[in-house]
Amino acid sequence: MSRRFHIKDEIRILGIDDSALIGEKILIVGAFFRGGIWMDGVMSSYITRDGMDGTDSIISMVKSSKHFPQVRVIMLDGITYGGFNPIDIITLHKKTGIPVIVLMRKYPDFEMIAKALTNLPHGDERMAIFKRAGDIIKVFTADILNPVYIQCCGIGIIDATQIVQSSSTRSNIPEPLRVAHLIATGVILGESRGKA
């Protein structure tokens, strides 16, 4: 069930992204922001490459953080981390009590995803997690030539869109996700690379 938000300019957002796929354990980083302006903290954890532990790892990371009581929204860069380690946003919302927004640069190619999942164990379970995540909505930020796509749980699409737009202060990607990506890749590769 989605609740209406009173969205402040400095709404506390936790943006989470993963690092480069080097090794079996993949670093994930959470950047804790006030809106898209001010970073208040960083947290990290590890997940298994192409594993099934992403959801539990994120829940544990979030709930054990000193920032947990202040987080109003969790933002994810896509619904899979560490290759094809799926994040169940319904479970994430249910176990943390925090609404979740998934952001994607491109509309996912579900046919290609289904084909890739045939090479991994628990392929049907992974695909079910993708399908349960709900409708995918196009959102325009300041860069109207490059829309993004979102899914959400525990928050209505109007509020989710407003939060994505207001926190996209430097690009069409919300600042909490952009910074989480820079930190995660910088730590693992020695220098940040690629796009969030």
Contacts of 8 (CB under 8 A, 6+ apart): 35
| Per-residue confidence (pLDDT) for residue 26, from 0 to 100 | 98
Q: What is the pLDDT along the chain (196 residues), one digit of tens a residue?
A: 555 566 777 899 999 999 999 999 999 999 999 988 899 999 999 999 999 999 999 999 999 999 999 999 999 999 999 999 999 999 999 999 999 999 999 999 989 998 989 989 999 999 999 999 999 999 998 777 889 999 999 999 999 999 999 999 988 999 999 999 999 999 998 888 777 6
| Longest alpha-carbon distance in the chain | 44
| C-alpha to C-alpha distance for 119 and 121, rounded to whole angstroms | 7
How far is the C-alpha of 103 from the C-alpha of 136, rounded, in Å?
9
Judge whether 14 and 67 are in contact, CB under 8 Å: yes
Q: Rounded distance, CA 29 to CA 165, Å? A: 22
Q: Which of 84, 53, 62, 80 is nearest to 15 (CA)?
A: 62
pTM of the model: 0.93
What sign does the CA torsion over 157, 54, 146, 42 have? Answer: positive
Which residues, other chains included, contact 160 with Cβ-Cβ below 8 Å and sequence gap of 6+? 99, 101, 150, 152
Q: How far apart are CA 15 and CA 28, in angstroms?
A: 10
pLDDT for residue 4: 57
Strands 25-34 and 38-48: antiparallel
The full set of domains in the chain, from first to last, is: 12-187 (3.30.2170.10)
